Amino acid sequence: MCSMSTTAKKRLTLFLNPALIKHARVQAVFEELTLAALVEKTLTQYLPKETIIKKVESN
């Protein structure tokens, strides 16, 4: 089970379309958020609250 209740932060490098980055930066300013906070907010809203991964037994 993977839960998103951790408050610790880690650095992440992503390669995104420059137009998407520009759009996100403008939206972050509009919402008075940092770009990182906007991305975290968006991912939190998009992703399910928890993910359960089950191991499949091989025969």
Mean pLDDT of the chain: 90
Whole-angstrom distance, CA of residue 15 vs CA of residue 45: 21
Residue pair 24/38 in contact (Cβ under 8 Å)? The answer is yes
Of 17 and 52, which is predicted with more confidence?
Answer: 17
In three state form, how does the secondary structure of the chain look? CEECCCCCCCCCCCCCCHHHHHHHHHHHHHCCCCHHHHHHHHHHHHCCCEECCCCCCCC
Binned at pLDDT 50, 70 and 90, residue 24 comes out as: very high
> What does residue 50 show for φ and ψ, rounded to 5 degrees?
-150, 155
Structural domain spans, the chain: 17-51
